[in-house]
Amino acid sequence: EPEVTQTPSHQVTQMGQEVILRCVPISNHLYFYWYRQILGQKVEFLVSFYNNEISEKSEIFDDQFSVERPDGSNFTLKIRSTKLEDSAMYFCASVLGVRSSYEQYFGPGTRLTVT
């Protein structure tokens, strides 16, 4: 069964460093998302991406964040200068988007630890 994959599974970085989180959505899906979950809290929406552009972003998704789909398969989230409060689990999700329930398939997550 096709699935969303994410790399790395765990990333440790120092405050102020840039990180890139990578996702490979399901191949025929059209809509892509990033969510984050701070430890012990609910899952929060960051950004959605369709047709090679951002379709919606939350107030969390400030100028320090960017997304890209560089090669038609990967979908990346970049944090330019990490802060301690960026420590969280980051989930990528994708949606087929055509005659479907618009069910979002989530990847296994990347746990980001900023020290």
Partner 1 sequence: AQKITQTQPGMFVQEKEAVTLDCTYDTSDPSYGLFWYKQPSSGEMIFLIYQGSYDQQNATEGRYSLNFQKARKSANLVISASQLGDSAMYFCAMREGWGAQKLVFGQGTRLTINP
50 counts as binding partner 1 under rule CB under 8 A = yes
DSSP conformation class of 101: -
User: Is position 30 an interface residue for partner 1 (rule: CB under 8 A)?
Assistant: yes
Q: Which residues pair with 91 in a beta bridge?
A: 35
Cis preceding linkage at 70, omega within 30: no
* Shortest reach from residue 85's CB to partner 1, in Å: 19
| 23: exposed, middle or buried (Cβ count in 10 Å: 0-12, 13-18, 19+) | buried
As measured in angstroms, the least distance from the Cβ of 103 to partner 1 is 6
**Contact footprint for partner 1 (CB under 8 A):** 30-31, 33, 35, 41-45, 48, 50, 56, 58, 89, 91, 93, 95, 97, 101-109, 111
